[in-house]
A = this chain, B = another copy of it.
C-alpha cells in the first residue's frame, strides 16, 4: 500500500475527476484543474508512474491504474462526504464547503470521515418526529447570522470550548478560583510563579481595593498583595 502526500493525492483525485468528463486526461487539464504549471504536473506524474498508480506515455494522455483508481476514488469519496456534510448539514455555501473538503480530505482519518457519513445517513433517515432538529439548526443559524451585527459573537468557538476562564482581577472578593494559566510579561510571570501562583492551585480573593489595585489574595494559606497588572496576567476558572 502506498501513502501519498497531500499534493499527490490531489493529482490522483484530479485525474479521477477529469476522467468523469469522459475525455482523455492530459497534462494541461490537470495543471488547469489544480492551478499549477505543466512542469509541476509532469514531475508529479513521474512519481505516480513510479508508484504504479497511473500510466502515462510520453506526450500522451494519462490513465489511472487499477490501484490508482482505488486510491483516487477513496480521496474523492472523502471529499464528497465532507463537502456534503458541510453544505447540507452545516449549511455552508458550496464553494467554501468544497474548498474546505478538498483541504481536509488529506489529513482527516478514515474513521472520522466514516463517522461523518454516519451522521449524514442518520440525519437523512431519522424518523420525522425526531427530525426537526436539523431544520431547527438551520433556523438557529439563520437567526444568528441575522442578529449578529458583524463581529458580535465572534468568540463562539471560545464560548463553546472554554472552561469559562477569566482573569484573576475580575474575581469578586470572597470568591475562589483555580489558576489555569499565567501569562504576561516575563518579569511579572516570574514573580507570580515564584509566589506560588501556578496552574492548578486554588486562589481566594480576599479584598479588592477601590480601583481594583491592589488586590489581596490567599494562596495555600499565604496572603499576597497583587498589582492589577499582575492579577490581570493570571487566567483563572471559577469553581462551582
Binding site for B on A (CB under 8 A): 19-23, 55, 63, 69, 77-78, 80-81, 84, 86, 90-92, 96-97, 99-100, 103-104, 107-109, 111-122, 124, 126, 130-134, 136-137, 140-141, 144, 156-161, 179-183, 186, 189, 193, 198-200
What is the CA–CA distance of A207 and B199 in the complex, to the nearest angstrom? 76
Q: How far is the CB of A21 from chain B (nearest CB, A)?
A: 6
Contact B121 A126 (CB under 8 A): no
Q: How far is the CB of A103 from chain B (nearest CB, A)?
A: 4
What are 9 pairs between A and B in contact, CB < 8 Å?
A22-B179, A77-B158, A81-B161, A96-B109, A103-B108, A117-B156, A117-B160, A119-B137, A122-B140
Task: List chain B residues, Cβ under 8 A from A144.
Answer: 118
Contact B115 A90 (CB under 8 A): yes
